[in-house]
C-alpha cells in the first residue's frame, strides 16, 4: 500500500494509540500510526511525578500481555519502584513502542476530513493520506481546563500543570496552586521541593486515599477482591466500571453517576507527608488580577485576598469533541454526541462509520476506566476485534465501508432491549453506590478510589 493511503490510520502514539496499534497488528491489520511516542507524558507531566495507578493497573495492553510492565522489568533485569515514577513509565512506553509498534510516523495530524472512500488525513508536512478507518487516540493535550477568573491573567503569571515538565523554574517564587485532585496536590509537593513558596487552594479539603491504600494492602488478598485489576473507582463499584461493555448498556443517568463518583478529585496517601508543611486553604476564587509584573492578587468569594507570583492551575481536564482540534467542521458536525462526548457503539465506533475514538472521549459511552491507562485493556482488543470482524463481513458481502448508513444513537432495537434489561439492575447499582459511599467515608469525605 502506498504512503498516500492506508487501511487504518491511528492518530496518537501514547498508551491508547500504541495499544490499539499493537492489537490491530496482531489481528492482521497493519495500521499507519502518527505521533511522537509518549510525547505528552514527557512534555506535559513533571519530572518526579509518580503514577497514582497501582502496579497491576499501569501496564499498556498488548496481545498475550507480552509487553506488560512486568515483562519490561524482566527486560531491565532490575525491579521498578512502586508507585511507578513517570520517568520509568515513559521509558516503558518507548520500549513498548519499539517492541510492539516499530513503525511510527513521527508527524502531527492537522486535520481529518471525509474522503471519497473513507477519510482524508492532512499531515503537518503538507501531505494527505487516504484512510478507510481512523482511530483517534490523541490523549489530553487539547483539553486542559483553565477556569475563570484566571483565564484573563497574562501568560507569564498563570499556567496549567500540564504546561510543565518540571517545576525548577519556580524556585524562590510564591506559587498559588489551584485544585484538589492528584495533579494539583502532587504539583504543589513538587514545586515546594523545587524551592517554591507554595500555597494550595481547593474548593474543599483534599480527599486522601488513605483508606483505599489500607484496603489494597489488607491481608489475605482482600484488596484484590474489593478492587478490580483496572483499579478505577471505590471498593465494589470498581468491579462494575471494570466491564466497559456492560457499562455502555447501563442507562445514561446511572452511568453518569458512576463516572462522576469514580472521578471525584482525590490524592494518593503517599502525598500526605509531602504536603504537611504546605498551607492548604479552601475557598472559591472570585477575581484575579495582575499588575503586569510578578504580583497576582486573587480575591476569594469570602473576601480573603491572596498574593502570589504565579498561579498554577491543577484544575484537570474537560473533554469535548469541539476542543479536540482534529476533525473538519463537516465531519465533527456529523457525529452524535452528548455534552460534547461522542456516542460510541461497539468497537468504539462513532456515528460516522469507520471513525473510532479511544481514551477519555470514550468515557461517556464506556465509563470512567477510559480516562486511565488500564482502559487500554478493554479498548484495544475490542477495537481490533471490531475492525477484523467488520472487514470480514465487508469481504463476504462485497460492500464498501463508506456505503454503510451512519448509525444513530438509540436506533438499534437490540440495544434498546439490552438497555431495558439493564434498567432492572438499577437497584443493585444504587446499592453498590450506597455501600461504596459508606466504605469511602473518612471524616465526612468520600474517596475516589
Is residue 47's pLDDT more than 80? yes
* Average of per-residue pLDDT values in the chain: 89
91-105, 242-256, 381-395, 400-414: which range is least confident on average?
400-414
Between 319 and 424, the more confident residue is 319
**How many Å apart are CA 260 and CA 164, to the nearest integer?**
27
The owner of cell 519490561 is 72
Mean pLDDT of 288-309: 90
Rounded CA-CA distance 197/176 in Å is 9
Burial of 359 (0-12, 13-18, 19+ CB in 10 A): buried
Handedness of CA 431, 432, 438, 441 (dihedral sign): negative
CB atoms under 10 Å from CB of 392, counted, come to: 10
Q: What is the pLDDT of residue 3?
A: 54
In this prediction, residue 110 has a pLDDT band, given cuts at 50, 70 and 90, of very high
pLDDT band of 432, cuts 50, 70, 90: very low
- Mention every residue, 6+ apart, whose C-beta is less than 8 A from residue 86: 41, 45, 46, 47, 48, 49, 50, 51
Cα–Cα dist 48/194, whole Å: 10
- Note the pLDDT of residue 398: 59
Residues 75-93 have a mean pLDDT of 98
Q: How do residues 161-195 score in pLDDT, each as one tens digit? A: 999 999 999 999 999 999 999 999 999 999 999 99
Task: Extract the C-alpha cell encoding 196.
Answer: 517554591
- In 3D space, the residue among 342, 298, 325 whose CA is nearest the CA of residue 175 turns out to be 298
pLDDT of 254 reads: 95
Q: Which residues contact 124 (CB under 8 A, 6 or more apart)?
A: 107, 108, 109, 110
Query: Other CB atoms closer than 10 Å to residue 103's CB: what's the count?
Result: 11
Q: Which residue, 142, 143, 165, 58, is CA-closest to 316?
A: 143
Question: Could you tell me the pLDDT band of residue 413, with boundaries at 50, 70 and 90?
Answer: very low
CB 245 within 8 A of CB 378: yes
Neighbouring-strand partners of residue 338: 341
Give the containing element (helix H, strand E) for 131. Answer: strand 128-136
Q: pTM for this structure?
A: 0.88
CB atoms within 10 A of CB 82: 11
Residue 72's pLDDT is what? 98
Residue (of 266, 215, 253, 286) closest to 419 by Cα position: 253
Spatial separation of the C-alpha atoms in residues 212 and 305, rounded to whole Å: 35
Q: Determine the average pLDDT of the residues in 393-421.
A: 48
Helix (H) or strand (E) holding 298: strand 296-300
Residue 290 confidence (pLDDT): 86
Flag whether pLDDT at 446 surpasses 80. Answer: no
pLDDT of residue 151: 87
Is pLDDT above 50 for 236?
yes
- Is the per-residue pLDDT at 156 higher than 60? yes
Residue 418 clears pLDDT 60, i.e. is over it: no
Q: What is the band of 407 on the pLDDT scale with cuts at 50, 70, 90?
A: very low
What pLDDT sits at residue 54? 94
C-alpha 240 chain-centroid distance: 18
Neighbours of 8 (CB within 10 A): 24
On the question of pLDDT at 228 being above 60, the answer is yes
Q: How confident is the model at residue 422 (pLDDT cuts 50, 70, 90)?
A: very low
Query: Residue 85 pLDDT > 60, yes or no?
Result: yes
pLDDT tens-digit series, residues 239-283: 999 999 999 999 999 999 999 999 999 999 999 999 999 999 999
Give the pLDDT of residue 416: 45
Q: Which DSSP string do the residues of 307-355 spell out, in sequence order?
A: EESEEEE---B---GGGT--B-HHHHHTS-EETTEEP--GGGB-SSTTE
Across residues 67-94, what is the average pLDDT? 98
Q: What SS3 state is found at 280?
A: strand
Q: Which tops the pLDDT comparison, 449 or 40?
A: 40
Nearest residue to 105 via CA among 27, 4, 16, 29: 4
Element (H, E) at 393: helix 376-397
**Beta 445-446 vs 441-442: how paired, if at all?**
antiparallel
Least confident among 128-142, 196-210, 375-389, 419-433: 419-433
Assess whether pLDDT exceeds 70 at residue 405.
no
Half-sphere exposure of 53 (CA within 13 A, CB side): 20
pLDDT of residue 445: 32
Question: In angstroms, rounded to a whole number, what is the distance separating the alpha carbons of residues 334 and 240?
Answer: 32
The model's confidence at residue 444, banded by pLDDT at 50, 70 and 90, is: very low
For 303-318, how does the pLDDT look when each residue is reduced to its tens digit (9 = 90+)? 999 999 999 999 999 9
Place of cell 499588575: 291
**Confidence class of residue 66 from pLDDT cuts 50, 70 and 90?**
very high
pLDDT for residue 338 is more than 60: yes
Please check the confidence at residue 154 and state whether its pLDDT lies above 60.
yes
**174 touches 253 (CB < 8 A):** no
Strand order in the sheet with 280-282: 158-160, 310-313, 174-178, 197-202, 280-282
Sorted by where each starts, the structural domains of the chain and their CATH numbers stand as 5-143+318-403 (3.50.50.60), 150-207+265-313 (3.50.50.60), 226-259+413-446 (no CATH)
DSSP symbol at 56: G
Query: Which of 6-20, 327-341, 410-424 has the weakest average pLDDT?
Result: 410-424
Measure the CA–CA gap between 31 and 61, rounded to whole angstroms. 17
Amino acid at each position: 500500500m502506498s504512503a498516500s493511503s492506508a487501511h487504518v490510520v491511528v492518530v496518537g502514539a501514547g498508551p491508547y494509540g500504541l495499544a490499539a496499534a499493537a492489537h490491530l497488528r496482531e489481528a492482521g491489520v497493519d495500521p499507519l500510526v502518527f505521533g511522537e511516542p509518549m510525547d505528552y507524558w514527557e512534555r506535559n507531566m513533571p519530572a518526579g511525578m509518580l503514577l497514582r495507578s497501582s502496579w497491576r493497573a499501569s501496564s499498556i495492553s498488548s496481545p498475550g500481555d507480552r509487553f506488560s510492565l512486568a515483562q519490561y522489568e524482566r527486560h531491565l533485569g532490575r525491579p521498578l519502584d512502586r508507585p511507578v515514577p513517570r520517568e520509568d513509565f515513559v521509558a516503558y512506553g518507548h520500549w513498548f513502542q519499539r517492541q510492539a509498534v516499530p513503525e511510527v510516523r513521527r508527524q502531527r495530524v492537522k486535520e481529518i476530513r471525509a474522503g471519497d472512500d473513507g477519510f482524508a488525513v492532512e499531515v503537518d508536512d503538507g501531505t494527505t493520506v487516504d484512510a478507510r478507518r481512523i482511530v483517534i487516540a490523541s490523549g489530553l493535550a487539547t483539553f486542559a481546563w483553565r477556569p475563570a477568573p484566571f483565564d484573563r491573567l497574562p501568560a507569564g503569571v498563570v499556567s496549567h500543570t500540564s504546561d510543565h515538565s518540571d517545576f525548577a523554574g519556580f524556585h524562590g517564587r510564591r506559587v498559588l496552586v489551584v485544585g484538589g485532585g492528584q495533579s494539583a496536590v502532587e504539583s504543589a509537593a513538587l514545586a515546594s521541593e523545587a524551592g517554591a513558596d507554595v500555597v494550595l487552594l481547593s474548593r474543599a479539603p483534599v480527599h486522601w486515599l488513605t483508606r483505599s491504600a489500607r484496603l489494597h494492602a489488607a491481608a489475605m488478598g482482600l484488596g484484590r477482591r474489593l478492587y478490580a485489576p483496572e483499579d478505577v473507582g471505590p471498593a465494589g463499584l470498581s468491579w462494575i466500571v471494570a466491564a466497559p461493555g456492560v457499562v455502555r448498556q447501563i442507562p445514561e443517568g446511572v452511568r453518569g453517576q458512576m463516572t462522576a463518583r469514580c472521578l471525584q478529585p482525590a490524592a494518593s496517601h503517599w502525598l500526605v507527608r509531602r504536603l504537611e508543611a504546605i498551607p492548604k486553604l479552601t475557598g472559591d476564587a472570585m477575581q484575579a488580577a495582575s499588575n503586569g509584573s510578578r504580583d497576582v492578587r486573587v480575591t476569594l468569594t469570602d473576601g480573603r485576598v491572596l498574593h502570589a507570583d504565579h498561579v498554577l492551575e491543577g484544575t484537570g481536564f474537560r473533554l469535548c469533541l469541539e476542543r479536540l482540534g482534529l476533525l473538519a467542521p463537516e465531519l465533527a458536525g456529523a457525529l452524535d454526541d452528548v455534552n460534547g462526548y461522542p456516542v460510541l457503539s461497539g468497537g468504539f465506533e462513532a456515528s460516522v462509520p469507520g471513525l473510532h475514538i479511544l481514551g477519555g472521549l470514550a468515557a461517556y459511552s464506556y465509563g470512567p476506566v477510559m480516562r486511565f491507562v488500564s482502559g487500554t485493556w478493554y479498548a484495544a482488543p475490542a477495537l481490533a476485534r471490531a475492525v477484523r470482524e467488520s472487514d470480514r463481513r465487508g469481504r463476504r458481502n462485497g460492500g464498501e465501508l463508506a456505503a454503510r448508513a451512519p448509525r444513530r444513537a438509540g436506533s438499534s432495537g437490540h440495544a434498546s432491549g439490552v438497555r431495558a434489561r439493564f434498567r432492572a439492575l438499577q437497584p443493585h447499582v444504587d446499592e453498590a453506590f450506597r455501600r461504596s459511599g459508606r466504605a469511602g467515608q473518612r471524616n465526612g469525605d468520600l474517596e475516589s478510589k
